[in-house]
Structure formats: structure tokens, C-alpha cells
């Protein structure tokens, strides 16, 4: 069961962002659940650490670490201190 709908306001192309926010808003309202804003680039960095039920939860990242994020025009080096604290060191490399 879904408890919320995550969406991003950016960074990204404005057309894609508008479509995504519009869909998320309609989807969340139809289910009567809240929307949660997420950072698109942080999601790229952290999404592969999401564990499904039954997966080994011990395989979490060793913080801090550096991440090379390559995502179109937003490629950058990021210092990841925790799941919450993610700091760009360089932009558009």
C-alpha cells in the first residue's frame, strides 16, 4: 500500500517537471495520500541503497563518501555525509 507520492521540482527540464508534478498531484489526490518533494539529484545518488523486504539491510554505504554524478547537464562531484546531508563539491564538470 502506498503511503505517499514522491515528486521532484528540479533540477530538470521545465516541461518534464511540470508533467511530473501534475501527474503526482492527481495520483496523490485520487488515492488521498500526501505528496513529498524530493531532490532529483540526491535521488540518483541514494536510490540504489533502498532495500526491499527480505534484502540484507547490512549492506548500507560507509559514510562519508564521494559520488561522481553524471546526469545530463547536472554532472557533479558530491560529498555524501549521510542519507540527509548531501553536499555538491563541484557543479557541471
Q: Cell 513529498 appears where?
A: 36
The answer to whether 41 and 74 have CB atoms below 8 angstroms apart is: yes
Q: Same domain for 32 and 66? A: no
Q: Same domain for 47 and 87? A: yes
Whole domain around residue 22: which residue ranges? Answer: 1-38
**For residue 93, is pLDDT > 70?**
no
Q: Residue range 7-30: average pLDDT?
A: 92
**For residue 37, is pLDDT > 90?**
yes
In sequence order, the β-bridge partners of residue 72 are none
Residues 59 and 74: their CA atoms lie apart, in Å, by 28
Residues 24 and 27: their CA atoms lie apart, in Å, by 5
Residues 76-89 have pLDDT tens digits of 899 999 988 999 99
Task: Tell me the three cell numbers of residue 59.
Answer: 549492506
The band of 39, judged by pLDDT with boundaries at 50, 70 and 90, is confident
Residue 86 Cα to chain centre, angstroms: 11
Q: Same domain for 32 and 3? A: yes
Residues 73 and 24: their CA atoms lie apart, in Å, by 24
- For all residues of the chain together, what is the average pLDDT? 88
The answer to whether 35 and 24 have CB atoms below 8 angstroms apart is: yes
pLDDT score, position 78: 93
pLDDT score, position 1: 84
The band of 74, judged by pLDDT with boundaries at 50, 70 and 90, is confident
Length of the chain: 93
Q: What is the count of structural domains for the chain?
A: 2
Amino acid at each position: 500500500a502506498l503511503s505517499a507520492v514522491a515528486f521532484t521540482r528540479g533540477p530538470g527540464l521545465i516541461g518534464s517537471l511540470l508533467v511530473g508534478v501534475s501527474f503526482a498531484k492527481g495520483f496523490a489526490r485520487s488515492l488521498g495520500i500526501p505528496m513529498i518533494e524530493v531532490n532529483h539529484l540526491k535521488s540518483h545518488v541514494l536510490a540504489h541503497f533502498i532495500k526491499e523486504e527480505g534484502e540484507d539491510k547490512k549492506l548500507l554505504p560507509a559514510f562519508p563518501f564521494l559520488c561522481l554524478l553524471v546526469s545530463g547537464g547536472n554532472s557533479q562531484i558530491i560529498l555524501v555525509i549521510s542519507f540527509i546531508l548531501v553536499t555538491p563539491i563541484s557543479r557541471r564538470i
